[in-house]
Amino acid sequence: MHSFTEENYLKTIYHLSQFTASPVQTNAIADGMKTRPASVTDMLKKLSDKQLIDYIKYQGVTLTEKGKTTAVGIVRKHRLWEVFLVEKLKFKWDEVHDIAEELEHINSALLVERLDEFLGFPKRDPHGDLIPDQNGFFEPVQNIHLHEMSCGNKGVIIGVSEYSSAFLKHLERLGLTIGIIIEIKEIADYDGSVELLVDGRKINVSREVTQHILINYK
């Protein structure tokens, strides 16, 4: 089996490779893992030996099929546990991430499948992130970040791309939670802040906020 550390590296590499097609760089991984580039290099050698990543010195890394499968499995566990915490134990959506960071490493295939069943095979976690199925497949959907939309566009909030408690509590205070319908009324030239129409009310949010809200776009 893999150590917690190895699993966390794989997950970090997986998430970083979502944004670009090109190989993931050492410094980016160091940032994501809150460690030093030299430590990353050490671990990359180890993961490469285990055939979990393709690694060429100075050129960055990509996950192998084996590595990707492992990473997606961890993501699946993380998101299922988050659903459990919110749906069954009444945690708030801003309280579950850190606990799920621990629970995602619990090692039992049977446990994951029983948990999935117990939760009613949920499709998304409390932050709107898709939960891969047992085979690692994601339901295809097209999301767009709020800041990529134009004046007059409408949509439904389907998720977030930032999980800090501070951010999630802020959204809640604004009434911007998953499932809410929004319409863009105005985008300020000055600072990129956006005026939204939400449930008949007008709300102003900073560009910062719009960059972390995902909209279901059809």
Partner DNA sequence: AAAAAATTTTAGATTTGTCTAAACATACAA
Partner DNA sequence: TTGTATGTTTAGACAAATCTAAAATTTTTT
Name the residues that contact DNA, by CB under 7 A: 3, 5-6, 25-28, 33, 35-46, 55, 57-60
Residue 101, phi then psi, degrees to nearest 5: -60, -30
Q: Is position 107 an interface residue for a copy of itself (rule: CB under 8 A)?
A: yes
Shortest gap between Cβ of 125 and Mn ion (angstroms)? Answer: 4
The 8-class DSSP code of residue 130 comes to: B
Question: Within positions 14 to 73, which residues make up the interface with Mn ion, using CB under 5 A?
Answer: none
Neighbours of 124 (CB within 10 A): 17
Is the Cβ of residue 65 or residue 117 nearer to a copy of itself in the bound state? 117
Integer Cα distance of 158 and 123 in angstroms: 12
CB 160 within 8 A of CB 127: yes
Contact with a copy of itself (CB under 8 A) among 6, 31, 54, 95: 95
Out of 7, 94, 104, 125, the residue judged to bind Mn ion by CB under 5 A? 125
Short-list 71, 66, 81, CA closest to 29: 71
Strand partners, 53: 63
State which of residues 24, 80, 85, 213 lies at the interface with a copy of itself (CB under 8 A): 85
Buried b (16+ CB within 10 A) or exposed e, 74-95: bbbbbbbbbbbbbeeeebebbb
Query: Minimum CB separation from a copy of itself for residue 95, in Å?
Result: 8
In degrees and rounded to multiples of 5, residue 204 shows phi and psi of -110, 130
Q: Hey, what are 2's tokens?
A: 């893999």
Figure out which of the listed residues 88, 123, 154, 202 binds a copy of itself, where binding follows CB under 8 A: 88
Q: Any idea what the Cα angle at residue 60 is, between residues 57 and 66, rounded to 5°?
A: 105
In the list DNA, Mn ion, a copy of itself, none, the entry touching 127 (Cβ below 5 to 8 angstroms by class) is Mn ion
Nearer Cβ to DNA, position 16 or 131? 16
The CA-atom distances, in angstroms, between 179 and each of 29, 78, 191 are 33, 22, 27
Asked if 99 is part of the footprint of a copy of itself (rule: CB under 8 A), the reply reads yes
Q: Does 94 bind Mn ion (CB under 5 A)?
A: no
What is the nearest approach in angstroms of DNA to the Cβ of residue 47?
Answer: 9
Q: Which does 110 bind (CB under 5 to 8 A by kind): DNA, a copy of itself, Mn ion, none?
A: a copy of itself
Closest CB 8 distance from DNA, rounded Å = 8
Site residues (vs a copy of itself, CB under 8 A)? 85, 88-91, 95, 98-99, 102-103, 105-108, 110-111, 114-115, 118
